[in-house]
Structure 1
Amino acid sequence: MNDEQDLFAASLRTLLSDHAGPAVVRAIEAGGPHQALWQTLQSSGFVDALLPEARGGAGLDLGQAFGLLALCGEFALPVPLGETLLARGLLAQAGLARPEGPITLAGQALDDGARLVCTGVPCARVASHVLLRHLDRCALLSVADARVEATGLAQELTLSWPLAAWQRAPAWPGALPPLRELQAVLYAAQMAGAMRAAFERSLQHANERQQFGRPIGKFQAIQHQLSVMAELVFASRMAARLGCQGPVQTPDPLRAALAKARCSEAAAEV
């Protein structure tokens, strides 16, 4: 990673530290308004990081945007910044209009004969659009036009649209975007960011918490646990970064699968 990419991640970290602290995240997850946070993120320009500079973006590729995606997980961001960043990059490359507002991704759906059903759509409660791929079609659909069902998770919803609405949606020009692979590398990067945050807080606590007159981090048992945690965290981060290598329209399927598998396995232990 070069200095310029470090500056992108450092700038986003500062922005999230100022506007997406734990109180804000908990309030949005509890059903509070998300518009102020989203407007701050959108006006900052990070949602267009993958767009070419000629179109007002930063011209990053998927690997160069890894730091931004990982920060979404590190701050437990309750709005789909990572998904929107990817979706707007794909829409720009396809020459399609990019709507305002947060966009989430759905890599598969179920055709029940009358409606197209997407279960467990992440961040659907706060998204305005869903970029959906089903069989040999990909289209951008409005959440406002969908039938909504709660799933029990804070930001997830099950969404469904009439088949007629799906068929009327403008067809994707050219090769279809690999949404499932992009979701895999996105979630791997977010898990890597979340695990790194958990490790750093654990290390800080071990150095500050006193027991028997010294920090608990001085005890061998705690040191062993922290060393195992560090190994899992940094191995997962490396796997996630490798999964993000390449252009946004063609992530390597094997690397994407390995990144998601490695991070999912480690997250349960960290």
Structure 2
Amino acid sequence: MSDNNHLCLLGLIFLSSLLTGVSGVDDAHVFISSGEDVRLPCNNALQDCTSTDWLYNNRHSNSTVELIGLGIKKRDTERHERLSLGSNCSLNIRNISTEDSGLYRCQQYVKYRQQGPDAGVYLHVLHVSSSHTEISSGLSVTLFCQLYSYPRVSCDDWIRSERIDLFWVNQTGVKSDSRYQISSSSGHCIISLNKTLLNEDDNREWRCEVTQRDHVKTSVTYTVKSSAEADSTTAVNKHVIKVILIIVEFAVFAAPTVILLQIICARKAERKDSQQPAEIDINTIIE
């Protein structure tokens, strides 16, 4: 009986290691919106970051890319200019894109031997896009809000297990009314907002939020800009430029004309001054 209990205990330990990760270090989950800067923690850092390696696995392949080697950035990576090491050997990435989502692993090496387990960080990137670039009243528009993640499991399973939720709210924080239709994808972490625009929708803000266990992790705001307003602004700008060009052309033409008139007037004045003394002398002689 004791042997059976012992086997059960070993099974529970093994199952627990699978659920928490064989590394023995809890993986971190970081949520960020595209275009922002992010800091990825290194939960196994030593005092000296010259022992730190950062590795990356993207969501498209199983290949591993070394970003940081013993505290030094690798120059042959696409994101080289956007990377830096922060405090506690954290990895800082500027101007996040959807391609940056994936699994990051922090490792420590001393004398070519790894010290301790990997510290994993899953980076999830929230991104919003529109079905139309030019927006006007009466147009049916779809806004796509997608959460890019490392595909360890399907999105549906991950959302259920981690209590992840994606939803759209308006600028007052209220979810969509009857005029707006929200649909979700079963195979991807994506939620769509479908709407037919009215005049009052101009400059209206919509926000896509992602929550985990009812806590907001990150959000992206999309502002509806009517193309009519943009066209009006462009027309005004063109009119102003046209007026400026006319003024410049007039100034270029008028300047030589004014100078020429000044020269003519000056010469006439000189002739008049030169003739005046001669007439006085003749009258004096006659007298």
Higher strand share: 2
TM-score where L is the length of structure 2: 0.24
Structure showing greater radius of gyration is: 2
> Which structure has more RCO (C-alpha within 8 Å, separation ≥ 6)?
1
TM-score where L is the length of structure 1: 0.25
Higher helix share: 1
